[in-house]
Structures are given as structure tokens and as C-alpha cells.
Amino acid sequence: MADDVPLQPKTVLRGHKAQVHTATFIRHNDRLVTGDAEGFVVVWDLTIMRPRAVWRAHTNAILGISDWGDDRIITHGRDNRLVVWKLGADDEQAMSTVLPLDASPEERPQPWLLHLLEINTMNFCTFSSCPPATASTAPTSELLVAVPNTLASEAIDIFHLPSQRRLHTVKLGDKNGMVMALSLFYRAGRLVLVAAYENGLAVVAELNNDDTWVATYGANVHSQPILSLDVSADKDYFFTSSADAMIVKHPIPQAAGHEAQQPGGAPLSSDDTSPSENPSEKPAAGPSLLSAALASQPRSPRPAQPQPKGTTHIETEPLKVVNTKHSGQQSLKIRSDGRIFATAGWDSKIRVYSVKTMKEVAVLKWHQVGCYTVAFSSIDQDKDNRGSAPTEPASIQAEAPTSTSSAIVPKLVDISVRDKRIGQAKTAHWLAAGSKDGKVSLWDVF
């Protein structure tokens, strides 16, 4: 990419007073939802680039936001709450559009609260969700939600909605530090959990028919806490980024047996109650493990531990490891077509990489302070095209200004301006980036 003609965002959404921590596209790219460090949520209408709903969902920073169908939004805050709100297109009419940056003379109304889970948010780890296999005929009627356990910061709880019942507590060892990132999904009829930890370990575990968890992969490649992970659309690999400069591509193997142990040698556990009521397993007072890890010197990756005889083999080799030379990349996201992924950098830069080669293909520089989140709009593309390498950075630069204008819109004489805007918003290749400055930049790339 030529240094003298840098890419510029298509638009910048200004409205948050505090740093933007999370962003996600919902309703087939019709809306962008952003959450900030003061607990405010803004639902942006991408056809007019204006807010449609603004409310304070939490009393502390928001860790994650996701949709559940077209009429529900899930928010996860550091106030130890995970909330499901009812917010369809019709519900927006009763919502405030006064942005957090602007003083409101009265309290902004909240959407209807459907479900509330009291959970642990000491970890800075947001939730992951997926519909259960039994909900295949009505995928929006039920949901499984994975969050860090309340008592043991290394364990993971899996809840069922709408019953709010805890189904599993999974513990993958005692010396991995806090859970930092999660992904929960079904593959080939089995529930799979991917977890990343404070000590740099990434683990894949699978639920057997006898209700036991089997580890299929475990690797400790990062020398610093893992900050984010994302799983491919085909559920066959995932990427991790860390406080170090490494980006790692990991496999997601399938379990071959019914008994296994975690990479450090301790047995996996699944229980309907918390892992332990022993006070010694509660988080210790004083500086957090994350703070200590970030302050420590980089260390060499730990060698894989040999597995005891009679246990299922656990893969320990990642697919690819790349030293990007840029530490502190978080909020890693893979685009839905599987061609590129992006990261938000503490150095204020958004970096775009090729999934196939893991080479950097674009650096998006507009924010002057650190970026905390990125999000891709969903792109409908034939499965056969997934995994193909993106073109060279120069091509990205050339295509960016014209990709919106080439969106598939019915070429009718009487097409309205509103319909054209809707078509452009839903088919644009949006990349949203949220920053410490409270602004959200929207890019139309590749």
C-alpha cells in the first residue's frame, strides 16, 4: 500500500464519551451495535449513519455484545451481569437517540429485559454462545452461553437460555491462569469449547455422549496472555492473538475416544455445581494475574507435556505461528467469507491479514490512540470461494473507494434513495473499529 495515499474510513461514528470496547453487526448488516467503558450501548442505523437506540445497559464497562435472532440483543458487562434485551425494529421507536456524548435531561429508557445471569467478570473475558443441537428446527428459541466460572477463574460455566440453568462446569487445569477468551459451537453433532488462558495456552475440548469433556488439542505458543480468539466458519481452525506479537493458527481436531486429560496432565472435569467450594480456589487478593503477566518478561513457549498411557492423544502442534513484530493485538475477527481477518492494535492501527498466508495485507491508520475492537459485516459468498487469498494491498486500496458503488442494487428507474442506501449498507464490506477515543471508524475494504 502506497504510503502517500493511505486508505481513509468511509465514515466515522461519533457519539461515545468513553472508550469503545466492543462492536457487532446485527440484522443482516442493517445495524451496528457498539458498547463503551461506561456501560452505554448505541445501535447505529447504517443506512443513515445515525443512532436508533441508546441506553445504559450496565453500570460498568461492556465486555461483549451479540444478537439472538432479529429481536434480541445480549450484553455482557463488568458489573457481573449478562442481560438479554428485547429490541426488534419496532421496539426502537420507543428508545432514546440521545448519544452518550450528549447530556440527556432525563434517563434514557431501557429495552424490555428478558433474561439476567449473574456471572463472573473479573477475567475481562466476554461470553460465547450458540444454539443447542436440539433447537435446529427453531434456532432462535434456545441458546447455550459459555462464561468464566464465578468462583474459579480458570473454570468455564455453560448456561442454557431461556431456562437460565447451568448445564456444565468445565475445568481444564489448575495452573493456566484466568480464562481470557472463549468460543462455543457445535460440530458434527458434538458441542465443542475452545478456551484461551492467561498463561498463553489454547485448548480445544469436546463433549462426549456420556457427558464428559475430552481435550483434543492444547498448545502453549504465546509467551503472554491471549487477548482474543476467533473460529473459522467451517469450524476446522481458529486464530489467537496475544499481548505478545504472535498470531497463531490452531487446528480443531475431533475426539477419537471418550477419556482424555488436559495438556498439563490434570483430568478434565464437568459438573453441575461449581468446581470447588474451597476458599483457597477463589481469586487471591492483590494485583491480578493478568497485570503480573503483562509486566513480566517474555518467556519461551513451554514444551508439550507427555500424555499418560491409556489416554486419548491430544494434538499439540499449531498449524502456523507468525511473529508480526507488533505486540498487543486484540479483538481478532475472521470475515465470514474466510478470506481475511483483522485485529485491533494497542498502537492505534487496524491490521488486516490474509487467512491463507497470514501475511499482513493492509494497515488502517486513522485513530490516534489505541484500538480495542474490530467487527466485520457478514458477507454472503459461495463456500467454494472461502480460503482464497486476497489480492495484493494495492488492489485493496484501489477497490475500497468503489466497492460500495458496485453493491448489488436493483437497477430500476424508480428506485428510491432510501432503498439504495439500504442496499449499499447491507452489501458493503464493512470493517468497524472502536477506539479509546470513543469514535468508531467504518471502512469499506476488499
Query: What pLDDT score does 285 carry?
Result: 39
What b/e string do you get for 227-243 counting C-beta neighbours within 10 Å, with b at 16 or more?
A: bbbbbbeeeebbbbbbb
CB 80 within 8 A of CB 118: yes
Query: What pLDDT score does 414 carry?
Result: 53
Using the predicted structure, report yes or no on whether residue 165 has a pLDDT greater than 70: yes
Could you read off the pLDDT of 339-384 as tens digits, one per residue? 999 999 999 999 999 999 999 999 999 999 999 999 999 987 544 3
Look-up of cell digits 426502537: 92
Of 205-209, 342-346, 408-412, the range with the highest mean pLDDT is 342-346
Query: What pLDDT score does 243 carry?
Result: 95
User: Residue 30's pLDDT band (boundaries 50, 70, 90)?
Assistant: very high
Could you read off the pLDDT of 135-146 as tens digits, one per residue? 555 667 899 999
Query: What pLDDT score does 139 carry?
Result: 67
pTM of the model: 0.80
In order of their start, the domains of the chain are: 11-444 (2.130.10.10)
For residue 376, list its beta bridge partners.
431
Query: What pLDDT score does 267 carry?
Result: 42
Q: Which of 400, 424, 432, 405 is nearest to 47 (CA)?
A: 424
Angstrom distances, CA of residue 90 to CA of 83, 93, 196: 20, 6, 38
CB 63 within 8 A of CB 41: no
Query: What pLDDT score does 312 carry?
Result: 60
The Cα 335–Cα 355 span in angstroms is 9
**Strands 165-171, 179-187: pairing kind:** unpaired
Look-up of cell digits 464490506: 429
Using the predicted structure, report yes or no on whether residue 63 has a pLDDT greater than 90: yes
Query: What pLDDT score does 192 carry?
Result: 97
Residues with Cβ within 8 Å of residue 355, at least 6 apart in sequence: 232, 334, 338, 339, 340, 341, 387
Query: What pLDDT score does 137 carry?
Result: 58
Query: What pLDDT score does 429 carry?
Result: 92
Of 34-43, 291-300, 304-313, the range with the highest mean pLDDT is 34-43
What is the helix (H) or strand (E) element at residue 197, kind and residue range? strand 190-197
Could you read off the pLDDT of 432-443 as tens digits, one per residue? 999 999 999 999
Could you read off the pLDDT of 257-266 as tens digits, one per residue? 444 444 444 4
Query: What pLDDT score does 173 carry?
Result: 76
3-state secondary structure of 403: helix
Could you read off the pLDDT of 293-308 as tens digits, one per residue? 344 434 434 433 333 3
Could you read off the pLDDT of 9-27 as tens digits, one per residue? 999 999 999 999 999 999 9
Query: What pLDDT score does 281 carry?
Result: 39
% of the chain exceeding 90 in pLDDT: 64
Query: What pLDDT score does 23 carry?
Result: 98
Cα 126 from chain centre: 8
Query: Number of C-alpha atoms within 13 angstroms, CB side, residue 57?
Result: 36
